[in-house]
Structure 1
Amino acid sequence: MRFGIAILPEYRWQDAARRWRQADEYGFDHAWTYDHLTWSGLQDSPWFGTTPTLTAAATVTSRIKLGTFVTSPNFRHPLALTRDILAIDDVSDGRFLCGIGAGGSLDATIQGGPDLTPRQRQDRYEEFVTLLDTLLTTDGVDFKGEYYETRNGRTLPGCVQQPRVPLILAGNGPRSVRFAAKHGDGWMTTGGDKTSLDTWFASLTDLSHRLDDLLEGRHLDRYLSMDSAQYAVSSPAAFEEIAARAAALGFTDLITHWPRAEGVYSGSEDVLAQIATEVIPRLR
């Protein structure tokens, strides 16, 4: 099992850099940041750009993989995103992971545009991923879909990782899980009913079984945002319980959040240190 940490893009770099370095030194397998224009409950908080943050993180780390948690079609075009991906993958020497989701409602209309139905968001998401995949593996792309268009989209020099960076596709429902099973290098989920830890794991059980049926024995890495129902870094015991139950469902990668001083994901960095140095090595 692999373990990751999400560091929200809310700190000035002089404060953020030591978190990224520490994540690398702790031995986390991957580190992520949100790719949103804002986040629920944090609209009045500082917030910095995702791709500059990950590029900077690449320069202060040497081993850990770096990813978007997750990017979406809400405010990105696949061709412009391709250029950002090429740059981060290059600066990090092939350590970039691209998490992608359909996009929620919070930053969906912040730049204007229609408020799409869930079905339309999924349609757009599938077109987005299809075009992005093509752009990352092909130079000179002509494409005209319902939502996106490119005219001789040039994408040299290509990714450091070949044939392209891994695409980790998010999905919490039947259609998105089916799409991830067919087109993703990994599946990422936050699960369903978050009323309690038990109801959340019941939803994860259903999703995992659905994925098993779709894969028919094929392997696909499975990434879980483990703080959806309860903050895993609230205690070493909580982290270990969530990790053990997730492992039993076949999840290969677990992602928690760096403790914040207050509000969502509030916690102690001392507890994180204990988890990183004592609990995670035992779980591996």
Structure 2
Amino acid sequence: MRIGITILPQDPWPVARRKWGAAEEYGFDGAWTYDHLSWRSLADEPWHGTVPTLTAAALVTSSIPIGVIVASPNYRHPVPFAKEIATLDEISGGRFQLGLGPGGTGFDAAVLGAAEYSPRERHDRFAEFVSGLDLLLRHELPGSGGVSFDGDWFTAVRARMVGAPAHHPRVPFVIAANGPKGMRLAAEYGQGWVTTGRDGAVGEDWWTSVADLAHRFEDAALSVGTDPLGPDRYLMIDSGGSYALDSIGRFDDVVGRAIELGFTDVITHWPRADGIFAGSEDILDDVAARLPALHEHGGVIPKLG
């Protein structure tokens, strides 16, 4: 079991720098941030750019994998975004992981004046986004004249990436999906699959939905000829109406249940002072004390104190 931490891009850089560095010192297995222009209840609060934040994070860390959880086509085109991601991966020394999702229907979807798309249109657009990034991030062969594709949603005409990718064959994809078509896409293109469980479900209903989705992902993987145990499985554990870092007991419980359901990774959020994900940074000390045993003993949570 690997434990990841999400650091929302809200703090002034001197504060954020401390958090990114501390995530590495604590021994977390990955440090992530969101990719939004604004987000839900925090829409009127400071919210910094994703790529500059991750670039700075890459320069103040040296070993921890870093990534975005998750980028969407709501306001991004594969060509310039692939260039940014490839550059980030090179700066980080091949530590970058790219979370991808179809994008919600809120502010990020409307800010550029786009029409409201149907679920099918959103999936079709996402599928093109993923396939385009897959081609671009493998980089063009020397002398090939670049990467070209012409879809219903995105076009590239002899796009140049330049240079060999830091990751081979490309940056790892962690694809968010709850529906069957999205899960098949995740199984086909993803090195990882991530879920937040069923929207609106809380408590035990949420855990039931998580178990069901894990089984459905296995079926989706088999349907596209992928080993169901091949992609990593990520669970966003601050879902289902609770926050995993409310207490160390709560953290132990959700991690243990995620292990039982076959997840390889869980991701929580750095505690905020108030509002969503409100909590104490002291809990992080207790979590950090558990990380070596989680790594060494195959996910067995040590009993401390």
- Whether these two folds match at TM > 0.5 is yes
Cα distance in structure 1, aligned partners of 2:139 and 2:93: 20
What does 1:10-21 correspond to in 2, within 5 Å? 10-21=10-21
**Residue 236 (structure 2) pairs with residue 225 (structure 1):** yes
Report deviation, 1:235.
0.5
**Residue 163 (structure 2) pairs with residue 157 (structure 1):** yes
Cα distance in structure 2, aligned partners of 1:159 and 1:264: 37
1:196 maps to which residue?
202
Aligned residues between the structures: 283
Q: Secondary structure at the match of 1:41?
A: helix
Q: Secondary structure at the match of 1:152?
A: strand
Q: Percent identity?
A: 49
What does 1:123-162 correspond to in 2, within 5 Å? 123-139=124-140, 140-162=146-168
Q: Secondary structure at the match of 1:129?
A: helix
CA contact (8 A) 2:139 2:163 kept: no
**Residue 105 (structure 2) pairs with residue 93 (structure 1):** no
Which of residues 244, 252, 262 is equivalent to 2:274? Answer: 262
Cα distance in structure 1, aligned partners of 2:50 and 2:180: 29
CA contact (8 A) 1:136 1:158 kept: no
Cα distance in structure 2, aligned partners of 1:93 and 1:19: 20
Cα distance in structure 2, aligned partners of 1:111 and 1:7: 26
Cα distance in structure 2, aligned partners of 1:250 and 1:195: 20
Unaligned ranges ≥5, structure 2? 141-145, 296-305
CA contact (8 A) 1:233 1:239 kept: yes
Q: Secondary structure at the match of 2:275?
A: coil
CA contact (8 A) 1:34 1:70 kept: yes
Query: What is the TM-score when the length of structure 2 is the normalising length?
Result: 0.90
What does 1:203-242 correspond to in 2, within 5 Å? 203-216=209-222, 217-218=227-228, 219-229=230-240, 230-242=242-254
Cα distance in structure 2, aligned partners of 1:34 and 1:236: 24
Q: Secondary structure at the match of 2:97?
A: strand
Cα distance in structure 2, aligned partners of 1:179 and 1:152: 25
Unaligned ranges ≥5, structure 1? none
For structure 1, which segment, 99-108 or 205-214, has the greater mean C-alpha deviation from structure 2 after superposition?
A: 205-214
2:301 maps to which residue?
none
CA contact (8 A) 1:158 1:164 kept: no
CA contact (8 A) 2:27 2:291 kept: no
Query: What is the TM-score when the length of structure 1 is the normalising length?
Result: 0.97
Q: Secondary structure at the match of 2:66?
A: strand
For 1:47, the aligned partner's letter is W
Report deviation, 1:268.
0.2
For 1:243, the aligned partner's letter is V
**Residue 263 (structure 2) pairs with residue 251 (structure 1):** yes
Report deviation, 1:193.
4.6
2:185 maps to which residue?
179
Cα distance in structure 1, aligned partners of 2:249 and 2:209: 22
Report deviation, 1:281.
3.0
Cα distance in structure 2, aligned partners of 1:42 and 1:193: 19
CA contact (8 A) 1:86 1:158 kept: no
Cα distance in structure 2, aligned partners of 1:262 and 1:33: 18
What does 1:83-122 correspond to in 2, within 5 Å? 83-106=83-106, 107-122=108-123
Report deviation, 1:119.
1.2
CA contact (8 A) 1:177 1:211 kept: yes
Cα distance in structure 1, aligned partners of 2:139 and 2:280: 46
For 2:94, the aligned partner's letter is G
For 2:293, the aligned partner's letter is R
Q: Secondary structure at the match of 1:108?
A: helix
For 1:118, the aligned partner's letter is P
Deviations along 1:236-265, whole A, 9 cap, x unmatched?
Answer: 111111111111111101100000000000
Q: Secondary structure at the match of 1:179?
A: helix
2:291 maps to which residue?
280
Deviations along 1:16-50, whole A, 9 cap, x unmatched?
Answer: 00000000000001000000101000111000000
For 2:153, the aligned partner's letter is Y
CA contact (8 A) 2:30 2:65 kept: yes
